[in-house]
Chain A
Amino acid sequence: MDDKTRLAAGLAKQFQGLTYDDKRLAEIAAEVEVLNEAVRKAAAQRLTFDDDPAAFASVLAKEAK
């Protein structure tokens, strides 16, 4: 079991009350790593302190035809 899978195992058991077998934990860890990295990278390129999730609806309204 690698570090990320071990971390996932701990998260599942200690923080979420869920149990998975080792194979599934390894798959989940790999999936989460890809998704996390994508968002972290995109966020680092774009987000500032003042970015608000609600801006999404405002942009749609402002850019409306």
Chain B
Amino acid sequence: MINDDLALRDLSDVADAIAAGRITSVQATEACLARIAVWQPRTNAFLRLNKEKALEQARAMDKELAAGKRRGPLHGVPMAHKDMYYRAGEISTGGSAIRRNWVAPVTSTALQKLDAAGVVELGFLNMAEFAAGPTGHNVHHGHCRNPWDDKRVTGGSSSGSGASVAARMVYGALGSDTGGSIRLPASACGVVGMKATYGRVSRAGAVARSWTLDHVGPLTRTVRDNARMLAVVAGHDPDDSTTSEKPVPDYEALLEGGVRGLRIGFALPDALVPVDAEIGAAVQAAADALGKLGAIIAPAQMPDFTDLYRAAEVIVKCEAAAMHRPWMEANAPYANQVRTRTDAGYFIPATQYIDALRLRAHFVREFLAQAMHGVDAVLLPAIPFPIPTIEETDVEASGGPATLKMVARFTGLTRPFNTLGLPALSVPCGFDKNGAPIGLQLIGRPFDEALLYRIGHAYQGATEHHKKVPA
């Protein structure tokens, strides 16, 4: 019972308690392991659990602390990560059958940074095959199941990251986001997910879905936890030339500014899929709550998302087709969903791919001038409908058009922000009629993650959604 209570505490709380000597890293790790023993059979969130290694790391972290060495703000905190972050000498499946036994030759920059900060690694988490799937289905390793209702999807592709954080098996987890893959599981599982600005976090040593649209980022239970974790993994990396040299702010120190006087644009855009009334009402209630805290809520003039969505589709299909070509030609064992989403990449002319890339700068300028004109951030839903079941969204047997329709339905409000590269934070804002979580999205100007955290933190200070725990 003591262990279980410890697992229910937030990352920041546990990290600070370890630093203060009130608890040990071993106790926190044992609490997570006890939680995993109960929740892994229900969720299938873990692909590999490294129990003994994690306890060994935790003991080492406790020893260091006893000797007066605290590595950083995550010292001794147990986490696990989407199984696409390479750890040299260890298996890294990318959620695939193709790489079921493949051993990574390098360690990803994100994991190196977490190692340096003192994080304990419990193992690696379920994900959509090669990060290509918005629901959490995985025909090779078993579907990941939503802790709030095991018949419902977790969202993907960072399915295990969302499920493990929501079920309190870990305090935080890395995900990745090419079309919504951090924000969708965050929203569906009721946790916080940050897709930071393109270039804010290194992608080196992480499985690519699309080099120019991939974003690495954290999933956590609270905005404060997320701010702490992003500050550790963000920053320039010589191994990823697309990373920015802009200094990384102390996001946590900037959390407490409140929202009074901030202008927040609010939108329920009917993009590729309409916003369900129940979801719209929950996000409207969040806007009202922020208004009560002193924010000025104004209608956001959103652009037509169709062009942004289709440009992203062109980019991701062409890049994925190139990187997967040898396996595709060899008829390697891909899920039907992954194969059919990639095929078009072999037929799209290179000029269209290049033009899609050239359009991105225009799209960013237009979005900032239109949707963000006169506002500090934009608020909209993450997933515009109640979380469906695993069965309802299983397109494995249906083929191409059904897969594309399902993907568009899930990512219609998230993928445009991968095209734009803008920071996007998903925060829980309620529960639907089935008891599954609802998430909102906050969009900011380039590299303005701190402001999104500030708004999200103020919102969580005034609401209780993030405190509910799956039973």
Contact = CB atoms under 8 A, between A and B. Distances in A.
Interface of A: 8, 11-12, 16-18, 20, 24, 27-32, 34-36, 38-43, 46-47, 51-53, 55-61, 63-65
B365 interface: yes
Given A18-B328, A42-B307, A63-B368, A56 B360 contact: yes
Nearest to A24: B400
Given A42-B359, A56-B360, A57-B199, A28 B343 contact: yes
B364 A12 contact: no
Given A53-B358, A64-B246, A65-B451, A35 B344 contact: yes
B88 interface: no
Given A35-B314, A36-B352, A40-B355, 12 more contacts: A31-B344, A31-B400, A31-B401, A32-B347, A35-B317, A38-B307, A39-B359, A51-B361, A55-B358, A57-B199, A63-B365, A64-B445
The SS class assigned to the A binding surface is helix
18 contacts: A12-B346, A16-B346, A16-B347, A24-B343, A29-B347, A30-B401, A31-B401, A32-B347, A35-B313, A35-B352, A40-B355, A47-B362, A51-B362, A60-B197, A60-B198, A64-B448, A65-B445, A65-B446
Contacts of A35: 310, 313-314, 317, 344, 348, 352
B187 interface: no
B361 A32 contact: no
A18 B364 contact: no
Interface residues of B, number: 47
Nearest to A29: B347
A42 B307 CA distance: 7
A43 B359 contact: yes
Given A27-B399, A31-B400, A65-B448, A39 B362 contact: no
A64 B346 contact: no
B356 interface: yes
Contact of B447 (A16, A38, A64): A64
A40 B352 contact: yes
A9 B75 CA distance: 57
Contacts of A55: 358, 360-361
Contacts of A38: 306-307, 310-311, 314
Interface string B395-427: 000011100100000000000000001000000
A52 B358 contact: yes
Interface string B229-258: 000000000000010101000000000000
B306 A59 contact: no
Given A11-B347, A63-B368, A64-B446, A57 B242 contact: yes
Interface of B: 197-199, 242, 244, 246, 306-307, 310-311, 313-314, 317, 328-329, 340, 343-344, 346-349, 352, 354-362, 364-365, 368, 399-401, 404, 421, 444-448, 450-451
Contact of A12 (B244, B347, B356, B448): B347
A28 B358 contact: no
Given A31-B400, A56-B364, A61-B246, A18 B358 contact: no
Contacts of A29: 347
A51 B358 contact: yes
Contacts of A18: 328-329, 346
Contact of B310 (A16, A34, A52, A59): A34
Contacts of B451: 65
B310 A8 contact: no
Nearest to B364: A59
Contact of B329 (A17, A36, A51, A64): A17
Given A8-B347, A38-B307, A42-B359, A63 B352 contact: no
A64 B356 CA distance: 22
Nearest to B352: A39
Contact of A36 (B199, B349, B404): B349
A31 B404 CA distance: 9
Contacts of B444: 65
Q: Which residue, of B310, B348, B361, B399, has the highest number of chain A Cβ atoms within 10 A?
A: B361
Q: Which residue, of B242, B340, B360, has the highest number of chain A Cβ atoms within 10 A?
A: B360
Given A20-B343, A64-B446, A32 B400 contact: no
A46 B359 contact: yes
B335 to A, nearest CB: 15
A2 to B, nearest CB: 15
- For the complex of A and B, the 8 pairs showing the least CB-CB separation, nearest first, are A38-B310, A55-B361, A53-B357, A65-B448, A56-B360, A64-B447, A60-B446, A27-B400
